[in-house]
């Protein structure tokens, strides 16, 4: 459960970071090209990942952790490139599009794995719930069987009285009025 919470925080952080990198690309590249300033990249590349403790990351399975590390490594490489580059804006744009493609691919891989884990986790939960339900159904059936065994056997005459045919005349009569 705690692993899912940590993965949820990381997934949200990745989503926000990918959103800022992709959808605000024109704006931060315009500022970089015109003013040649780098201070706005601190806000663009802000991430909560650096605030997650090592003990929390240790709860995440290795497969997810490798993807997460790869994602944040690529983001950090791009951030450091922007902070230190002296390349012309066209070269920076080429580097950005190459890096964004890789970052987006890793992000998609991570989200797919988390969704797959959620689906498998929910199906395991449903399996556990259905096992509990089947156990409770079995218990109810056993109780009903036991209670039927305890009932005395009825006379054949009593059964015939209960199943006697009703005449058509009796069916055509008006039913008794409803009384509150």
Q: pLDDT, tens digit, for every residue of 56-65?
A: 999 999 999 9
140 pLDDT above the threshold of 50 = no
Average model confidence (pLDDT) across the chain: 79
Check if the beta carbon of residue 82 is closer than 8 Å to that of residue 41.
yes
Distance CA 98, CA 102 (A): 7
- Considering the entire predicted model, what is its pTM? 0.66
């Amino acid at each position: 459960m705690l692993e899912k919470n940590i993965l949820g925080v990381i997934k949200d952080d990745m989503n926000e970071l990918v959103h800022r990198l992709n959808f605000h690309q024109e704006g931060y590249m315009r500022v970089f090209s015109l003013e040649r300033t780098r201070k706005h990249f601190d806000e663009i590349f802000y991430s909560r990942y650096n605030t997650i403790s090592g003990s929390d990351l240790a709860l995440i399975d290795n497969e997810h952790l490798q993807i997460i590390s790869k994602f944040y490594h690529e983001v950090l490489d791009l951030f450091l490139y922007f902070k230190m580059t002296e390349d012309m804006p066209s070269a920076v744009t080429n580097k950005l599009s190459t890096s964004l493609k890789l970052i987006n691919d890793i992000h998609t891989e991570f989200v797919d794995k988390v969704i797959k884990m959620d689906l498998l986790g929910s199906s395991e939960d449903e399996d556990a719930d259905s096992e509990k339900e089947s156990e409770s159904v079995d218990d109810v059936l056993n109780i009903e069987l036991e209670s039927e065994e305890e009932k005395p056997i009825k006379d054949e005459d009593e059964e015939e009285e209960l199943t006697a045919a009703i005449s058509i005349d009796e069916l055509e009569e008006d039913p008794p009025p409803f009384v509150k």
